[in-house]
């Protein structure tokens, strides 16, 4: 149940939504702390794409394990102090990346960035669910998703621009550190809009602690179905985010400036899909059907790109447009998770489910990196399409489970509602 009354002034809701969107955008920005400069690391440190894929694995392994644990911390201590600590980790990660002298330094940067990233979904959704009024919650989830895509899109633009303009990639990490510092200062300044430990929220936590086992939510099938959806859909995103640019270059002979813009375009199309998805939450009953159609279209676009049949420029456009389908699913997915979360366990539920995102990135990055090292660039797109199709299967099962009457769903204590 939302801890904020529907009479909450719009200005208060918008302030919270805006601050959480800013923080979430920063967390996704730091997903891309290292990948845009992979070519520089290959040149200066003699690394392969397989080794660089392991950096992505380290980031998401730390983030995934930390995310599941962070949900418990958020439920116990409140979200705001955890958010501030996460931002501090991003500043430290930028410093480590800028001073790296080889693989070990890059691994340290990946670990610090993963530690910073791990708490964001439990933090964000705990604050949104407790402070934003019910009529605006779908739009809050939409803004949350859009901001993440914008963060992904902004990172390569900023880091590559600084590296190319200065002739030294290390200066790019001075820029990322300043981004994190400015966002942290803004969050501290406006911290009153991020307070989730008051009124109904405190009472809800006390009741939940007294009546339910802290791990009871793990009995809900919908939690693990959503986890699997995150895993497969994120594996596709990992392929596009980290390896689409070099894959397009090898397949179609496109220059780096064009292929890098395709990745940005894919993420911006994802943001547009997420925006539309925020309106669908309140208007469509069986959202999993819309999700399946959108993701199937995205998979088709990626398979067409993998075929090599398209002219080079057309392939770039089609690959970018595939992002719309992947973004459309976000807000409805987040709303389903909210409904599945028992009282007082919002942080734990979102932490567990969203660790599927980290697991998808961690597993997919070295696999797709190895495919590229083996001279199979088309497999980046066909593999991403396969992952999306597996995600559709997971979403369909989620829809069947949550489409049953309320009385059929298991409760957090393991009985029937």
Widest CA span of the chain, in angstroms? 63
* Number of separate domains in the chain: 1
Is there a domain that residue 126 lies in? Answer: yes
414 inside domain? no
Question: Which of 95-109, 124-138, 212-226, 271-285 is most confident?
Answer: 95-109
Q: How confident is the model at residue 414 (pLDDT cuts 50, 70, 90)?
A: very low
Angle in degrees, CA 192, 193, 195, rounded to 5: 70
Predicted local confidence at residue 83, as pLDDT? 93
Q: Point out the least confidently predicted range of 188-197, 333-342, 361-370.
A: 333-342
Decide which of 410 and 23 is more confident: 23
* Higher pLDDT pick, 210 / 244: 244
Euclidean distance between CA atoms 369 and 247, whole angstroms: 10
The three-class DSSP label of residue 169 is coil
Domain membership of residue 231 as a residue range: 14-191+219-402
3-class secondary structure per residue, 32-56: CCCHHHHHHHHHHHCCCHHHHHHHH
Confidence of residue 143 (pLDDT cuts 50, 70, 90): confident
Of 67-71, 164-168, 399-403, the least confident: 399-403
Q: Are 163 and 37 in contact (CB under 8 A)?
A: yes
Give per-residue pLDDT as tens, 321-358.
998 888 877 776 666 666 656 666 666 777 777 777 77
* Least-confidence region, from 42-56, 189-203, 316-330, 398-412: 398-412
Tell me, what CATH number does 83's domain have?
1.20.1250.20
**Is 163 inside a domain boundary?**
yes
Model-level pTM?
A: 0.72
CB 316 within 8 A of CB 254: yes
Do the domain assignments include residue 299?
yes
Local confidence band at 169 (pLDDT 50, 70, 90 cut-offs): very high
Three-class SS of residue 215? coil
Q: Out of 40-54, 217-231, 333-347, which region has the weakest mean confidence (pLDDT)?
A: 333-347
**Residue 25, helix vs strand vs coil:** helix
Residue 259: exposure state from Cβ atoms within 10 A (0-12, 13-18, ≥19): buried
Neighbour tally for 13: CB within 10 Å: 21
Q: Which residue has the higher pLDDT, 281 or 257?
A: 257
Nearest CA-CA partner of 147 in 240, 226, 31, 64: 31
Confidence of residue 213 (pLDDT cuts 50, 70, 90): low
The rounded mean pLDDT for the chain is 81
* Alpha helices by DSSP H, 374-410: 378-402
Asked if the structure places residue 199 within a domain, the reply is no
Reduce the DSSP state of residue 404 to 3 states and report it: coil
Q: Predicted confidence band at 199 (pLDDT cuts at 50, 70, 90)?
A: very low
Q: Is residue 203 one of the residues assigned to a domain?
A: no
Domain assignment present for residue 201? The answer is no
pLDDT number for residue 348: 72
Residue 225 pLDDT level (bands cut at 50, 70, 90): confident
Residue 416 within a domain: no
């Amino acid at each position: 149940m939302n801890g904020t009354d529907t009479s909450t002034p719009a200005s208060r809701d918008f302030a919270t939504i805006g601050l959480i969107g800013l923080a979430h955008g920063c967390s996704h920005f730091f997903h891309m702390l290292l990948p845009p400069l992979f070519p520089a690391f290959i040149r200066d440190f003699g690394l392969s794409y397989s080794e660089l894929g392991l950096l992505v694995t380290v980031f998401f392994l730390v983030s995934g394990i930390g995310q599941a644990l962070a949900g418990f911390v958020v439920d116990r201590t409140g979200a705001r102090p955890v958010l501030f600590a996460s931002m501090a980790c991003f500043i430290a990660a930028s410093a480590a990346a800028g001073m790296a002298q080889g693989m070990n330094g890059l691994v340290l940067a990946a670990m610090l960035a993963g530690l910073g990233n791990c708490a964001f979904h439990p933090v964000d959704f705990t604050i949104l669910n407790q402070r934003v009024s019910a009529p605006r919650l779908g739009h809050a989830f939409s803004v949350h998703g859009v901001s993440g895509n914008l963060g992904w899109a902004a990172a390569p633009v900023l880091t590559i621009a600084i590296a190319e303009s200065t002739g030294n990639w290390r200066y790019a990490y001075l820029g990322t550190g300043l981004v994190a510092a400015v966002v942290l200062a803004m969050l501290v300044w406006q911290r009153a809009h991020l307070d989730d430990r008051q009124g109904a929220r405190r009472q809800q936590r006390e009741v939940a602690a007294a009546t339910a086992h802290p791990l009871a939510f793990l009995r809900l099938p919908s939690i693990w179905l959503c986890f699997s959806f995150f895993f497969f859909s994120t594996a596709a995103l990992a392929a596009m985010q980290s390896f689409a640019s070099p894959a397009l270059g090898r397949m179609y002979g496109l220059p780096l400036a064009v292929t890098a813009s395709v990745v940005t375009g894919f993420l911006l199309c994802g943001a547009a899909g997420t925006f539309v998805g925020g309106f669908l939450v309140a208007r469509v009953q069986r959202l999993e059907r819309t999700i399946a159609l959108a993701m199937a279209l995205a998979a088709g676009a990626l398979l067409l790109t993998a075929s090599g049949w398209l002219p080079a420029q057309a392939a770039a456009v089609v690959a970018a447009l595939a992002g719309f389908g992947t973004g459309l699913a976000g807000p409805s997915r987040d709303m389903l998770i909210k409904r599945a979360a028992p009282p007082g366990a919002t942080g734990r539920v979102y932490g567990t489910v969203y660790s599927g995102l980290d697991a998808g990135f961690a597993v997919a990055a070295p696999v797709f990196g190895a495919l590229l090292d083996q001279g199979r660039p088309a497999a980046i797109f066909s593999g991403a399409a396969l992952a999306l199709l597996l995600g559709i299967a997971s979403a369909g099962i989620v829809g069947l489970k949550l489409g049953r009457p309320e009385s059929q769903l298991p409760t957090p204590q393991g009985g029937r509602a």
